[in-house]
């Protein structure tokens, strides 16, 4: 566990409970907003337990056949249905090889697609026409990420499916932890830009005009863009952006597409970002 804790900033409680559930043979829902290190936690846990994982992203196009697999049409037409011609989908591959199947945006899957998970978890096997029965390796687990703030919420997931999962809430981290995450990902920067970028993201999460604020990804993008812009104009030549203007423009680029305004709001993302930056500057001067 020590190696996992060293790789991930904070999250000790979450990591301990996730590993405990996996080792106990449970499947897990990771419930939380985007950008809360769910994928990072999974990567670290995968290394800790020595298990590989297979990643799929939930959407309306992810059908049952894509999850399970199919026979190669050309080979089948020429030589008939043979096991060696079967192309394993991510679900069947994970079952066969004892992998973690990580499904992002699970709540975006069509109902008919989610039903196959019930069979895989309850019976620990799937029957594939012309291939036969594929039994799940004892190490097989499903880890599904859910975004409760999405328009397609978690309420539509059937009770039968929910009952087969354990669940843990993955929320935003503390200010200090987010600052450390940004420093690690960007290499750090001067001028207090890391702290400013983190504070902007945190303020967006409680702004009355925003349905969904920015995650730490926005803070990382702001620091990267600002530092790159600063390096491209050494000495601040005539006509180039001054440091304050560069910070503002970097914030616009980093956050404008990561905040989600209420449909009734008539404001622009840039207005809200600038308002937050001005408020933070006033607080700094007090």
Write out pLDDT tens, residues 188-203.
767 789 999 999 999 9
- 254, 198 Cβ separation under 8 angstroms: no
- 104, 145 Cβ separation under 8 angstroms: yes
Q: At 4, give phi and psi (nearest 5°).
A: -70, -45
Q: Which residue has the tokens 């999974």?
A: 42
pLDDT at 237: 56
- Give the residue-averaged pLDDT of 36-51: 87
**241 — pLDDT class (breaks 50, 70, 90):** low
**232 — pLDDT class (breaks 50, 70, 90):** confident
pLDDT at 150: 67
Query: Using CA atoms, how far apart are residues 80 and 110, in angstroms rounded to an integer?
Result: 31
The answer to whether the Cα torsion of 223, 149, 53, 69 is positive or negative is negative
Write out pLDDT tens, residues 4-42.
777 789 989 999 999 999 999 999 999 998 889 898 899
> Hey, what's the torsion of the CAs at 34, 38, 43, 49, to 10 degrees?
-170
pLDDT at 240: 62
pLDDT at 235: 67
Provide the CB-side half-sphere exposure for 118 (13 A, CA). 12
**216 — pLDDT class (breaks 50, 70, 90):** very high
- Give the residue-averaged pLDDT of 46-67: 89
Domains of the chain: 2-169 (3.40.50.300), 175-285 (1.10.8)
Structure tokens at 247: 């910070």
- Give the residue-averaged pLDDT of 159-186: 94
% of the chain at pLDDT higher than 90: 58
Average confidence score pLDDT of the chain: 89
- Give the residue-averaged pLDDT of 65-72: 91
């Amino acid at each position: 566990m020590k190696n996992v804790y060293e790789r991930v900033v904070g999250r000790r409680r979450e990591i301990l409970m996730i590993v405990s559930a996996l080792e106990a043979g449970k499947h897990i829902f990771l419930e939380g907003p985007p950008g809360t290190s769910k994928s990072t936690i999974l990567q670290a846990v995968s290394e800790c337990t020595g298990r590989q994982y297979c990643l799929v992203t939930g959407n309306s196009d992810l059908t049952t056949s894509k999850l399970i697999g199919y026979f190669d049409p050309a080979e089948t037409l020429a030589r008939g249905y043979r096991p060696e011609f079967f192309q394993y989908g991510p679900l069947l591959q994970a079952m066969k090889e004892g992998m973690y199947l990580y499904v992002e945006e699970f709540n975006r899957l069509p109902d008919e697609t989610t039903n196959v998970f019930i069979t895989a978890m309850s019976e620990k096997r799937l029957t594939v026409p012309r291939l036969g029965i594929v039994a799940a390796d004892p190490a097989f687990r499903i880890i599904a990420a859910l975004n409760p703030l999405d328009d397609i919420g978690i309420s539509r997931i059937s009770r039968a499916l929910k009952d087969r999962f354990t669940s843990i809430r993955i929320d935003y981290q503390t200010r200090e932890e987010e600052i450390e995450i940004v420093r690690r990902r960007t290499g750090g920067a001067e001028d207090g830009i890391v702290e400013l970028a983190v504070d902007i993201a945190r303020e967006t999460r409680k702004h009355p005009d925003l349905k969904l604020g920015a995650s730490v990804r926005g803070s990382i993008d702001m620091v990267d863009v600002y530092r790159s812009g600063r390096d491209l104009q050494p000495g601040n030549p005539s006509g180039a952006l001054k440091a304050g203007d560069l910070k503002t423009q970097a914030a616009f680029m980093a956050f404008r597409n990561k905040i989600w305004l209420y449909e009734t709001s008539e404001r622009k993302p840039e207005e809200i970002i600038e308002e937050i930056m001005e408020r933070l500057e006033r607080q700094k001067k007090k």
